[in-house]
Amino acid sequence: MSGKTKPPGKSVTIEEAKKAGGKKYREKVRRVIEEYEKLPDEKKHQIHLYYGYGKGKTTAAIGLSTRMLGAGKRVAIVEFDKGFDQSKEHYFERRVFFKLKELGYPVEIYSTGCERMNEDGTFRFKNADEDLLEAKRALGIVKELIKNGKQDLLVLDEFVAAVNYHLISEKDFFDIIDLYNKKRRFELVITGHKLFEGLEEKVDLITEMRKVKHYFDKGIQARKGIEY
């Protein structure tokens, strides 16, 4: 063996690479682009669902929100069941969005829900009357944003989970989707844990966050800046 590394292929310039091969594929892509541009605006907007028991649902929604802001678009985020007692913050991404708003970025964030963390660090699962009232308040905010909001992206964080955990009904959920579908003025993202009947047919994109392995299982606790 000479010890020399074999080059991956013939060297060409960028301009030569653009012209080489893939003619049928380029034509197909060009047709797709042309057809998309002909669509009315409301048919261009889509519903995204990020769901599952794996890590990354809210993270994906936050990432998309950041991308939209970077593109000069307006973002609104409604958080279901993610309230806090004003002294302990569990979701530090909110601080970033508050700061971005101060800097002039067009982002609004609406946090609803009651404090779920007990003083001993455990989590409260049982729903109280106040939790249900907060979920109802969240629905009111969402309806107003769908009707009159100026956002280009609306994120409904834990919207599906609110159904899963009986904070809102399936009818409440589908009423919101139907209201959005009357005139799709913006992109819609929803997150949660578990699909329920009729949900899959109502959305345009589904990404499942499936746990394959998680360090929680070996006793690693939620960490500041990573899980919250």
- pTM, full prediction: 0.86
Q: Is the Cβ–Cβ distance between 188 and 48 less than 8 Å?
A: yes
Q: Which two tokens stand for residue 85?
A: 């007692």
List strands edge to edge, sheet with 47-51. Answer: 107-111, 75-79, 153-157, 187-192, 47-51, 205-208
Selection from 93-97, 111-115, 191-195, 214-218 with the highest mean pLDDT: 191-195
Q: Is residue 29 part of a domain?
A: no
CATH for 56: 3.40.50.300
Q: Is residue 14 part of a domain?
A: no
pLDDT category of residue 86 using cuts at 50, 70 and 90:
low
Q: Is residue 36 part of a domain?
A: no
Q: How many folded domains does the chain comprise?
A: 1
Work out the mean pLDDT of the chain and round it to a whole number.
89
Q: Is residue 35 part of a domain?
A: no
Q: How far apart are CA 154 and CA 109, in angstroms?
A: 10
The four Cα atoms 149, 153, 84, 218 give a dihedral, to 10 degrees, of 170
Q: Is residue 89 part of a domain?
A: yes
Q: Is residue 153 part of a domain?
A: yes
For residue 172, what are the domain limits? Answer: 42-218
Looking at the predicted structure, is the pLDDT value of residue 2 above 60? Answer: no
Q: Is residue 113 part of a domain?
A: yes
